[in-house]
Structure 1
Amino acid sequence: MSLSKFDKFKLYVFLIAMVELISIIFGAVLFGFNVVFLAIVIFVISIVMIILLLYAREKEKHDRIVEVSKILGSDAKEAFAYGDIGMLTYDENFVITWMSDFFISREINYIGEKVTKWLPDINRIFQGDEDSIVLEFQDAYYEIERKADSQMLFFKDITYEHQLELSYENEKVVVGLIHLDNYDEATQYQEEMNISIIDSEIKQPIIDWAKAKGMLIKRIKNDRFMVVLNETIFAKLVEARFSIMQEIQKTSDSYAIPITLSMAYARGTTDFQQLDEMLNNLLELAQSRGGDQVAIKKFGEDVKYFGGNREAQEKRSKVRVRVIAQTLRELIEQSHNVIIVGHKEMDFDCMGAAIGMSRIVSTYNKVVSIVYQDGDMEEKLAAALNKYSVQLQARLNFVNEIEALSILEESTLVIMVDHHNIQQTNAPELINRAKRIVVIDHHRRKTDFSFMPLLVYIESGASSVSELITELFPYQLSKVNVSEEEATIMFTGILIDTNRFKSRTGSRTFEAASQLKSLGADPVEADELLKDNYAEFELKTGVLKYCEKLDNGVIVTPYGGDTLLSRSIMSQIANEILSVQNIEAAFVIAMIDDDTVALSARSTGNINVQVIVEQMHGGGHFTAAALQRKDGTVEEIYSELKNVLANYFSERKNENESDTAS
């Protein structure tokens, strides 16, 4: 038990008195009686003064206790003892002057010490920020309140209640879904023996893992399991970073089959219907982002993700494309007119998809319009549209948002292409007012929709939306009439989004490119549309001087020049950086206007730039992502990016070590 300042004072007085007494004895031996007599008189006077001082301090303490009793009433001691409540008083300097028996029984004694030094967090009460606080000390939890207009604090031991609350929180129900990505495709043409091997090597480990962790697991579909667990078990899964995902990846790789896991966990509410709705939305989110990841949501909070370290595989089948085409056809036929909306700063893929969708709608003799905002598109696209203006304006109907709102009706079908977020759209008011919306995109979903779409076709494994739209052409009731100029713009969209067929390119991509070629797309003309002029070449060369090579095959270009860069130039520079040997990801940071800073990220496929940029409140997909921020600077974004990169590679290292250990 620590001594108070007053107890220490009494100890020091005792020691001084003993030193004086010893000195008197030695003086008597050395100097004789007269000197000793004088010393004894002085010693007695000192002792009397000390006794009087001690008496005064004890009386002051007693008076303080009486004063406290008067404040609280004559039965205060018994009442507070019965309620297990402690009290302490302090002076104007926050020095503790008295502590009740509540503290003595717990061997807590800080009389003479500053309460703010003993409990620094108590300042929140003194500053008026909070009326009461809960603090932990000596393995117990106390709720502390200050008595108004007095220098007194009340302590209530709530350790038992805290343990009950903690136990309640830990036992709350968490529900999850575990989905085997690509299972049907991987086993569709396998022999029974091979399927049984796949089941025993992939499905059974999932069941064993769930049971070993204490979860209830039930198979609800051939490729899907439902699990029930509590918060304690869930915390352990998060700590282990859902190690089963790495185990399944490793097994799948050994058998050369593209099976991964998509997992969803809903928590934070006792409403089972709410949990069920959250769970289904979360699994859809995980799959639409490419699978191989975990989507987690606590009620009232944002979605969090784990994993996603592999690029999405092509999962859409010809059957799915035909079903989407049929559903889309029915929605078009039920509509009075159709409006196609792209994203801000439209690029070739966005415009190509809008043009392709417009030609599909035209086959059903419906009035179709494309929302087009002057100046809100990439420079090379604007040049291409100007070059083909006569041919395009004769076949397509371009409108601005105000004109689109004037033709919006209850039965109007609005089709969003190359984006799915209202913050990215070039016609936000139109989306807010529309009753019938379709989404066609290839970017990984970031969060839930802020609107209610009738149809969602998001394929993050596709190279581009132009590829997705091209695949719909053969499944229309009549041939889709696409001109050479329109086909060339769509082909250019695929060309850019695949970095000239170097990334995110599957067999379906080449099939779509071949189909566009048969419709008149000119690859030479497409290449011509993308060529830089000398000023652009000079600008890119100047920006590349700012490149900085970091660890893990990353190059960051924080451009500090005076010239404002366009987003298209930034993405082109990032793609060029990827041509450097042993470079896996490139990030370009620059000002795009006087008060907006942007970041463009590109990857070869070994680093998930979407996950990185999402940590900075941007978005995109596995190999291409971006963000822009108002009132930011290049230096701030660069500093933030370095921290996010450090966390990303640290987590990857931990996952790899966990995988090796397992």
Structure 2
Amino acid sequence: MKRKVWASSPVFFVISAVLLLTAGISWFWNIVVFTAEITLAAASIAAVLIANRHFKAHIAFAFKSVGEVLTGDRYRSLRQFALPVAVIGEAGDIIWVNDMFLDQVSANRECRGDNILKFIYPATTEQVLSAGGTEVTFGSRQYTVFGIRTEAGSVLYFLDDTAFQEISRNYEESRTIVMLASFDNREELTRDSSSSEETRIASEVEEVLARWAQGLGGFLKRMSSGRYLILTDEAHLRTEMKKRFPVLDSVRAIKAGDRLSATVSVGVARGAKTLQEADDWARNALNMALGRGGDQVAVKQANDTYEFFGGLSNGVEKRDSVRTRVFAASISDDIKESDVVFVMGHKYSDLDCVGAAIGMWNVACKTLRRPSYIVLNLTQSLASPQITALQNAYPDEKIFMSPQEAQMLATSRSMLVVVDTHSQDFVESAELLKTVPRVVVIDHHRMMVRHIENALVFFHEPYASSTCEMVTDLLQYIGDSKLTQTEAEALLSGIMLDTKNFVLKTGARTFEAAAYLRRKGADTVSVKRMFSDSIDAYKAKYKIVSNAEIFGRFAVASTEHEFPDIRIASAQAADELLSIQGIEASFVLFPAGDVINISARSLGDVNVQLIMETLGGGGHLTMAGAQLSGLSVSEARDRLIAAIRDFTEKASNHTNEKS
């Protein structure tokens, strides 16, 4: 048997065929890749040539346009023009610049072909061309750039006003700032102290303020007992505003005994045109700071705007009976000179609002015997138990009146008493406020920027627990009060509402007022019944509480659906959330018509007023609210959470700066 040769076997031919096929495929693929690369390279070269051709044509067209307009002497004049000039194309590329541009702006570096944004950023070419002068900064120089359009692009002129900007900046930073500081709780700290202790506290506060004024590059001048004038400049004030006025903490470190801390309030005038105007602004700002509870700085700026710093502590209770007696005498005289007296509160009046209105109605109608009416929208009031009780007590008298009826009855001798609000935006009827020329304001909420001005009497005590407490104090100084049990219970219910049954914001005067009302026959059991809820409202309240979310020390709850007692249920839900361990502030959002309302509550460690003010609302340190229009509940909730985070961040930064 002959031996087979391996090279002639079928396996050899198969392997050879596979290798030849693989080599062929590889060769073919290399040809394809090579062809593709050649094609792409050719396309790129063609694109570059075409772009270069168009670019050259564009430049040639632009130069031709410039040459048609500026020839000979004109061209030489523009080239030697005293201001930097740049001609740019439609795409923003620099086509031509004059000698001054090369010397001042581009520092003799070739810039033709560069984009003009290199020299005017962050402004755009369109902004420069549409504005009548745009301020830009390039390098260490500042320019005002003017532009005009041409057929081929535009021409920009650079005006170097670095020196003028420096002069303007120096002028602004050196403008005189007038400040007025007040040692706002001096009497409370030194009432029970010896003369030496009083002198020590006063001198320490003055020393802190004097060092602060020196650090601001200014000086301090004592005006009267507890009041100081401080002069500084804009540059130091701007720095102090960034630091959020740490002088408040320095003063608060001064203590009388073991618990009470000294506090100051400062009014700052910023941007006033004259020193006389600055003095007026500083006084208004100081009154604003004191009206918001003290321990803060109010900066009054142009356009009647304010910026507030501090205000994190609660107002100090002031037991000044003389001041209350003076206000009582003044209000009494004004009522006697009136032909009819209207008493009005805020929209969606609550127990404190209606209770205070009932008290002032009693003063005008029963004690001073003047025709008096409570102006109220009965369908929107949250104090129906008080209203029903008073109507049952005086079935034959017309006590409550709509705003429209009051406007028809008002005369030039009429008087309007506004209770439980001082904001012209929150009153029951803004039209009635404008109609009646003689106005008295009685309120305990912290001062708001848009407050009622030119009032005959502005009785404002932000440290009072409620407006009912203030009215009760006034009643004791206006003759022989004809207060009945029904009216006493109305006043006591208002006090209990705002103090949460004598828990929050309760001072000695609060209990004294409650004791006076108790002597007048107020029954605490009857008052308690005013706070009772329907079973539907009770269920709704706890449904809102069950849907709450916790964000650190804040609780936020909301309801999407509107129901009859939604305002009462939401306010009570906000109170209930404070009983959760670790919660220091609570917020409840609820719809009412086209507006999303927010009820905010705290136990005193968080100033919910500051949070609500960022949303356009206001109120007290422990009780505040806001209204947001044009938003859904979820959108309003997002805005609220953003405001809470901003507040928390500022408080954290303030704490870090102190440490």
TM-score where L is the length of structure 2: 0.86
Of residues 431, 434, 439, the one that matches 1:437 is 439
Higher alpha-carbon deviation: 392-401 or 493-502: 392-401
Could you say which residue in structure 1 is the equivalent of 2:333? Answer: 330
2:544 counterpart residue number? 543
Alignment match, 1:632: 631
Farther-moved stretch of structure 1 (146-155 vs 464-473): 146-155
| Match in the other structure for 2:554 | 554
Secondary structure of residue in 1 paired with 2:299: strand
* Worse-superposed segment, 261-270 or 438-447: 261-270
1:458 paired with 2:456, answer no
Query: What residue in structure 1 maps to residue 368 of structure 2?
Result: 364
Moved more, 83-92 or 209-218: 83-92
In 2, the alpha carbon distance for the partners of 1:297 and 1:420 equals: 19
Provide the C-alpha distance between the structure 1 equivalents of 2:399 and 2:57, rounded to a whole number of angstroms.
96
The AA in structure 1 aligned to 2:583 is: I
Aligned to 1:102: 100
Tell me if the contact between 2:355 and 2:386 (Cα under 8 Å) persists in the aligned partners: no
**Could you tell me which residue of structure 1 aligns to residue 380 of structure 2?**
376
Corresponding residue number in structure 2 for 1:51: none
Q: 1:124 to 1:493 in 2, by over 3 A?
A: farther
2-side partners of 1:303 and 1:83: how far apart?
48
- Give SS of 1:472's match: helix
Give 3-state SS (helix, strand or coil) of 1:225's partner: strand
Moved more, 90-99 or 305-314: 90-99
| CA apart distance, 1:79 | 5.5
Q: Deviations over 1:457-487 (max 9, x none)?
A: 111111110000001122122x211121111
1:472 to 466, 471, 474: 474
Residue range with higher mean Cα deviation, 292-301 or 510-519: 292-301
Please state whether the residue corresponding to 2:305 is helix, strand or coil. Answer: coil
Amino acid corresponding to residue 342 of structure 2 in structure 1: I
Aligned residue type for 1:651: K
Identify the range of structure 1 (324-333 vs 603-612) with the bigger mean alpha-carbon deviation: 324-333
Find the aligned partners of 1:396 and 1:56 in 2 and give their Cα distance: 89
> What does residue 21 of structure 1 align with?
none
Match of 2:592 in 1: 592
2:351 is aligned with what amino acid? F
SS at match of 1:327: helix
SS of 1:273 mapped into structure 2: helix
Residues 334-349 of structure 1: pairs in structure 2 closer than 5 A: 334-349=337-352
Partner of 1:610: 609
Q: Distance in 1 between matches of 2:292 and 2:122?
A: 43
Please give the secondary structure, in 2, of the residue aligned with 1:419: coil
Distance 1:347 1:181 in 2: 31
Q: Does 1:71 align with 2:69?
A: yes
1:300 partner SS: helix
Deviates more, 1:389-398 or 1:624-633: 389-398
Relative to structure 1, the CA distance from residue 56 to residue 351 in structure 2 (aligned partners, 3 Å threshold; closer, same or farther) is closer
Structure 2 residue 643 is the aligned partner of structure 1 residue 644: yes
Q: Are residue 582 (structure 1) and residue 582 (structure 2) matched? A: yes
- Contact map agreement 1:98 1:111 (CA 8 A) in 2: yes
Q: 1:405 aligns with which of 407, 410, 414?
A: 407
Equivalent residue number for residue 525 of structure 1: 526
Match of 2:43 in 1: none
Instruction: Report the residue type matching 2:589 in the other structure.
Output: I
Structure 1 partner of 2:281: 278
Per-residue deviation, 1:390: 2.1
Structure 1: gaps of 5 or more residues: 1-53
Superposition map of 1:44-193 within 5 A: 68=66, 71-72=69-70, 74-75=72-73, 84-105=82-103, 106-116=107-117, 119-123=120-124, 125=126, 129-150=130-151, 151=153, 152-193=155-196
Alignment of 1:123-272 (within 5 A): 123=124, 125=126, 129-150=130-151, 151=153, 152-252=155-255, 256-272=259-275
**Deviation (angstroms), 1:448:** 4.3
User: Structure 1 residue 270: deviation in Å?
Assistant: 2.2
Counterpart CA distance in 2 for 1:387 and 1:475 is: 26
Cα gap change, 1:386/1:71 in structure 2, threshold over 3 Å: closer, same or farther? same
Identity %: 28
Establish whether residue 321 from structure 1 lines up as the match of residue 320 from structure 2: no
The amino acid of 1:88's aligned partner reads A
What's 1:567 paired with?
A: 567
The number of equivalent residue pairs is: 603
Aligned mates of 1:107, 1:572 — CA distance in 2: 73
Q: Output one character per residue of 1:269-327: Cα deviation in whole Å (capped at 9) or x when no partner.
A: 22222222222111111111100111111122511111100111112411111111111
What is the TM-score normalised by the length of structure 1?
0.86
Deviation at 1:359, TM superposition (A): 1.1
After superposition, the Cα gap between the structure-2 partners of 1:98 and 1:415, relative to the gap in structure 1 and judged at 3 Å, is: same
After superposition, the Cα gap between the structure-2 partners of 1:533 and 1:99, relative to the gap in structure 1 and judged at 3 Å, is: same
1:508 paired with 2:512, answer: no
- After TM superposition, where is structure 1 displaced by more than 4 Å over at least 4 residues in a row? 54-67, 72-83, 126-129, 393-396, 561-565
What residue number does 1:391 align with? 393
Instruction: State the Cα distance separating 1:444 from its structure 2 match.
Output: 0.5
Q: Is the 8 A contact 1:247 1:659 kept in 2?
A: no
Q: Which amino acid aligns with 2:255?
A: S
Residues 318-374 of structure 1, C-alpha deviations (whole Å, 9 max, x = no match)? 111111111111211222221111111111111110111111123122111110212
Aligned-partner SS, 2:272: coil
1:147 is displaced (CA, Å) by: 1.8
Residue 393 of structure 1 and its aligned partner are, at CA, apart by: 4.2
- In the TM superposition, 1:278-317 aligns within 5 A as 278-317=281-320
The answer to whether the 8 Å contact 2:329/2:477 transfers is: yes
Supply the distance in 1 between the matched residues of 2:55 and 2:611 (Cα, whole angstroms). 65
Q: Is the Cα–Cα contact under 8 Å of residues 61 and 98 in structure 1 kept in the other structure?
A: no
Question: 1:120 Cα deviation (Å)?
Answer: 4.5
Distance 1:83 1:432 in 2: 62
Of residues 399, 414, 417, the one that matches 2:416 is: 414
Q: Is the 8 A contact 1:177 1:265 kept in 2?
A: yes
CA contact (8 A) 2:340 2:415 kept: yes
RMSD of the alignment, in Å? 2.6
Q: Residue 481 of structure 1 aligns with which residue?
A: 482
Which residues of 2 match residues 1-12 of structure 1 at below 5 A? Answer: none
Aligned counterparts of 2:644 and 2:58: Cα–Cα separation in 1: 63
Is 2:134–2:146's contact at 8 Å kept on the other side of the alignment?
A: yes
Q: CA deviation at 1:255?
A: 5.4
Q: 1:186 & 1:544 partners in 2: Cα distance?
A: 41
CA deviation string 1:100-151 (max 9, x = no partner) = 2223222454321332466454436368642321111112111111124352
Read off the aligned partner of 1:147 and give its amino acid letter: I
Please say which of residues 151-160 and 285-294 is displaced more in the overlay: 151-160
Deviation at 1:615, TM superposition (A): 0.5
Cα distance change of structure 1 residues 162 and 610 upon mapping to structure 2, 3 Å threshold: same
Shift of 1:85: 1.1
> Which residue pairs with 2:21 in the alignment?
none
Tell me if the contact between 1:418 and 1:465 (Cα under 8 Å) persists in the aligned partners: yes
| 172 and 189 in structure 1: CA distance in 2 versus 1, 3 angstrom threshold | same
1:85 aligns to what SS in structure 2?
coil
**1:244/1:400 CA distance change after superposition, 3 Å:** same
Q: CA deviation at 1:563?
A: 4.9
Whether contact under 8 Å (1:173, 1:270) holds in the other structure is: no
Evaluate the alpha carbon distance shift between residue 215 and residue 565 of structure 1 in structure 2; reply closer, same or farther with a 3 A threshold. farther
